[in-house]
Structures are given as structure tokens and as C-alpha cells.
Structure 1
Amino acid sequence: MQPVPDCLTMKQFVTKNFLLIILILAVGFAFAMQVTIFQTPPATPPAVAAVLPAAFTTYWQTGKAEVNTYRLEQAEAGALHKGEARLIFAVEDFRTDTQVRSETEASRDKSIPVLRANLSRQFVVGMQDYALHTSVFTPINSLVFLNTLKVSTSAQDWSGHSYRQLNYRTNEYQVTGKSYVEPEADEAYTVPKALLEDELWSRIRIAPDKLPIGEIQLIPGTMTARLRHRKLEPLAAKVKLEPYEGVLYPGKLLKAYIIEYPTDDRSLRIIFEGVFPHRIVGWAETYPSKNNLLTSRAVLKKTIQSDYWNHNAPADTSLRAELLN
């Protein structure tokens, strides 16, 4: 009996295992192209160190947050008002399905590392206290998870309070909101996927060399949209990055990331350190308020690293006083 030719054996093998071979090729192609479907995470979350320099891991994965305090002048009701701002960054595990912080071992395989940014502003307008807070959850591994997953903003003043949230779902942002203001009482709409102004603060801290430059589409910041009572939608923006040459902000080798909205009569400048860890030392935001073109400004006062969530005793108020002075 003559042996079966190698080519015939190979043909029989391919015929018998055709579906398996196609499946293997499809998985290999998806891995090579770094394809994700609806930003579903892999079984094992990607390590931070695998996509960023070691210095990033050393600085951010110490079990502490970076807390920054700023002197603030905020535009509202046609005038500038003095106040305080805080910008807090921390790395944490974030669930991609329910879009909340992972707090159990059972949810770890559904989570990815994000850089959480909390921006708060407190200021007084005449007799009224204003308090605004924005939380942004941006995946650290932008090669796999391209879009910020969630943004939430709340605002309180003597008239009432409001809340707005964006969730990234199936290639768009779902917007929900509640407010004491009649046109914003119950919001539920979607906006096309675009870069968020709110995530730029985190993008600066993660990889400033990859910031978008030129003419792009941006969804304006939720905090300013609330103060101006604007609905969220992508707008044309002109963006550039250049050295900062002024003397108002502290630090060395500073850079200015400049965003201009030609159709919205508004601009934003974020000033940050050009060297790691790229602290944000201040910002300036210009837009009309009651027909007055005003510029809100924040200038860095102090930066500390702290596990502030573990300092809840009355004696810990001394740590707060040290930070705010």
C-alpha cells in the first residue's frame, strides 16, 4: 500500500477542522488589531505597567491620591467671585459593565484600571453659596479602552441642585440629568461619540504627548455647561499645545493646552508641568456671562499625596487645614 501524500493529509485535516481554524484565525486577527467590542474588558485586566512607563506606576499605584488645591476666581452672574477649587486624581479599579468602582473580589475580572479625576469648585455669589463637583473615569490603557467611560457632575446653590451624567454605551454617550431648572428638569438623550473636554485633565496626566492637536470635535465640559445652562453636544474646537511663558502659575517648564470653540465664544487654557508627573498648576476659562466677557482662573496653592479616605477622625481636620493654607 502506498503512503498517503502529505498534501492530501493536509487537505483532509483542513476539511475536518475548518471551523476551528477559522475561529483561531479570527481571534488572532482581533488580538493583533487590538479590537474591542463595546469596550468589554479582557478576562484579566491589563496591567498599568504594561502600557505606561515605570514612573507612572511608581507614582500612582501607592495606595494614595494626589490632592491639589487652587485659588479660584469664578465667573457667574456677570462678575468674578473668589473661591477655592480642588483637583484630585487617583487610580482605581472600575467596572466596565455597571460603570462603578469595583469593591469586591468577585467583580475584579469585570474591572479595568482608570484614573479618576474629581474637580470641585466652591465660591460665593452675593449671598449664595455655590458648590460644583465633577467626577471623570478614564481608562489608563487607551490602546484597549479608547473612551472615557463615565462623567458625572452635580451643582448646588441656594435655589436648588442639579445632576448630569454621561455613560459610554455602544459607541455613544447616554446623557441623563435632573434639575430644579425647568428646561433641564428631566434629561435623557444621546450624543455621538467624541472626545470629552472633561477627560482632557486626565489625558494630560496619563500621556500629554498624545493630546489631540488641530481641529477636532469636543463635547464641552459638564461643569461649565451647567453654569451656562447648555445642552451637551459635540462642537468644533481648535486645539494647540505650546510653552507657557507667563508668570502667573507656579512651576518650571510649563505648557499650555489651549482649546478654543469658534462657534461658542469660549476658550479654555490648562497649564501643566512639562515633566512627569505633569501636575496641573492652573487654568483659565473665558466666556460671556451676562454680556460681560469674563475669565475664570485657578492657580495652584498646594499638592499632597494622601489616603484621605482613611483620615476621618476629628483630629484629622488639622491635615485639612494644612492643605488649604
Structure 2
Amino acid sequence: MKGMKWMLVLMALFFTCMPQLGRQDLSAKASTVKKEGKIGLGPYWFEGKAEINHYTLSQNRYRDLHPGEAVLVFVTEPFLTDKQVKNDQGQKKNSTTVLKLNNIQRFTTGIYDYSVMTSVFTPEELKRFPHSLKVSSSSQDWCGQTFMQINQEKENYKVELRSYFENEGDQNLSLPQALLEDEVWTRLRMGPDALPLGTVQVYPSAMYIRLMHKPFKAYTVEAKLEKYAGNEFKGNNLKVYQLNYPELERKLEIVFQDKEPYLIEGWTDSHPALLDKQMRQTIAKRTHTLMEAYWQKNNLKDLPLRKDLGID
């Protein structure tokens, strides 16, 4: 009976949007934690659930700070390194475990609203895969939509851009690899030791590039990791990771708990606004966190869980 019970559980997982099939040992701790010191994923990430975080958002856009919310969903899943898609069939060949982030940000701008989503796929094995294998991002508002995808291809990134703006149009680029700002969030969750420090080359986030209509290229950045001494975020033993872009007059600060699993309390993003060039600061603050197999919670009876996340 126990064998039949586990067979039914595995079959159910296979048909969800986030199957764990393809992982060599679902109950095992992340191998890199033991082999490579502090960097890696611990058992917290392999319980068959996703970590869902809700944040209030004040977004720098046009000439104002606009109200909104952000949801960051972190979850592990098997990922095919050749096709660079989720391993649905459970093949072991060309498969690795990634920490996936779905970063959804929604905010209003006057009468109309924005919806931006970025997905990041960062391998657990950072020594074998020093950069994320894939980032995809889309933005929708009443004017139209844009889409950007970055795939690791040998020593370069294959970049596709699709946009309704004439000056951006359809682009296909091949660019040298460097740190992706979008992968900082997943690398941070693997431990602060996974974060580069000092002068580094960084590609800004897909969301920033698209909303500010900047060329996608690597910028020289000063990266710092310090004890958090501000007063915007509350908590004990907080640290802040800073990326300072002199050329863009931009500073990103991510504040997080200095103990596993390094929960992100929020972030600030300071840069000149798009239209009036005045310096303003986006700020996001965590309100709720829930560990849940959300892909199984899709019935009307599950609506109350949204209140548990602080979502209207």
C-alpha cells in the first residue's frame, strides 16, 4: 500500500506546473552545500513547495512614485541544459537542478497599469554553471508589450528582444557573458558567498532596461555587501547587497536576512526618472511569506490563501 501511495503522489506531481521529477534525489540535501562550503541550496528548498513572498511597491515611473505590489516566487525544479526548458519527462541526461524565480510586479500609472514578469533559472551547481542558464521577461501596459529572453550559449548570451517601439523593434544579439542583475536574487538565496564584490561587469535587469529604454549591455558596477544600517526595513541581522551603476546614476540595494534561507526583506532602486530626469527611489517591502504548493491550490475554495499572502 505504501508503494502504491507513493506512486500516486509521483504521478500527481508529474502533471503539475512544477514537477520535481528529474531530480536525482528529492530528499537529499543540495550536494554543493557539503562540497563547496556555504554556497548552495539546503533542504529548505526541496520539500515540494514554493516560497511565495508579497511586497508593497512604490515604483519610480515617469514623473512620480506609483503604488503597486510585487510577488517573488522561488522554487526548485529540474531543468534541461540543452533545451533550456523545464524537464517535464524526468530524463536524467542534460538535466540539472535550478532555483527558479518568478518576479511579478504590478503597478498603476494614472489611468492605466503595468504588469512586468521576469523568470530566472539559476543552476544549483554554481561552479559548473557560473551564470544563469536563462532569463525571460515581459512587460505589458495599455500601449503594448515587450519581450526579452537571454539564453546562455557557450561563452556568449543569445538575446532576443521583441518590442512594439520602432527604435527597439526586433533584435537578435550575441553578447559576452557577465553577471546578470536578474540572477543576483537567486544567487543571494544560495548564500551571500555567491555574490560578487568589487568592480564587476553587470547587465542591468530586464525590467530596468525595458522601462528605461536603455541598450542591453554590460556596465561597470561597484558591488558591496554590508550590514544594513538603514531604517526602511525592520529586522535583526539584516544585510544589504548594493550594485552602484555610475554611468546610469543608479543604485540598487537588496536587503535580506543574514541566516538561511536568506529571506529578502525588500529593495530600493534609485535612478533618474524617465521623463523629468529627477532622482526618485523605487522601494518594495515584504509583508507576507508563504511556503505552499500553489500549483495544487487552484480551486475557488483556495481563494482565502490570497489573504494569507496579503493579496487583494
When normalised by structure 2's length, the TM-score is 0.87
CA contact (8 A) 1:93 1:108 kept: no
Q: In the TM superposition, what are the counterparts of 1:179-190 in structure 2 within 5 Å?
A: 179-190=163-174
1:324 and 2:310 matched: yes
Q: Which residue among 278, 290, 296 is the counterpart of 1:292?
A: 278
Q: Which residue among 147, 168, 175 is the counterpart of 2:159?
A: 175
Equivalent pairs, count: 282
Q: Which runs of 5+ in 1 are unaligned?
A: 1-43
In the aligned structure 2, how far is the partner of 1:202 from the partner of 1:257?
A: 13
Structure 1 vs Structure 2 CA RMSD = 1.8
Q: Could you report, residue by residue, the CA deviation over 1:148-196 in whole angstroms, capped at 9, with x for unpaired residues?
A: 1000000000001110000000111111011111122201111111011
Amino acid at match of 1:66: E
Q: Which runs of 5+ in 2 are unaligned?
A: 1-22
The aligned counterpart of 1:195 is 179
Q: Which residue among 42, 52, 70 is the counterpart of 2:33?
A: 52
CA contact (8 A) 2:104 2:116 kept: yes
When normalised by structure 1's length, the TM-score is 0.83
3-state SS of 2:92 partner: helix
Structure number with greater Rg is 1
Amino acid at match of 2:146: S
Amino acid at match of 1:59: Y
3-state SS of 1:201 partner: helix
Task: Return the offset for 1:210.
Answer: 3.1
The aligned counterpart of 1:213 is 197
Q: Which residue among 115, 120, 128 is the counterpart of 1:136?
A: 120
Amino acid at match of 2:99: L
The aligned counterpart of 1:315 is 301
Q: Residues 140 and 263 of structure 1: is their aligned pair in 2 closer, same or farther, counting only changes over 3 Å?
A: same
Task: Return the offset for 1:48.
Answer: 5.5
The aligned counterpart of 1:93 is 78
Q: Could you report, residue by residue, the CA deviation over 1:258-300 in whole angstroms, capped at 9, with x for unpaired residues?
A: 1101111111000000111100100000111121111000001
The aligned counterpart of 2:3 is none
The aligned counterpart of 1:9 is none
CA contact (8 A) 2:98 2:122 kept: yes
1:306 and 2:292 matched: yes
In the aligned structure 2, how far is the partner of 1:145 from the partner of 1:215?
A: 21
In the aligned structure 2, how far is the partner of 1:319 from the partner of 1:278?
A: 24
Q: Could you report, residue by residue, the CA deviation over 1:205-242 in whole angstroms, capped at 9, with x for unpaired residues?
A: 00212311111100111111111011211110001111
Task: Return the offset for 1:322.
Answer: 2.1
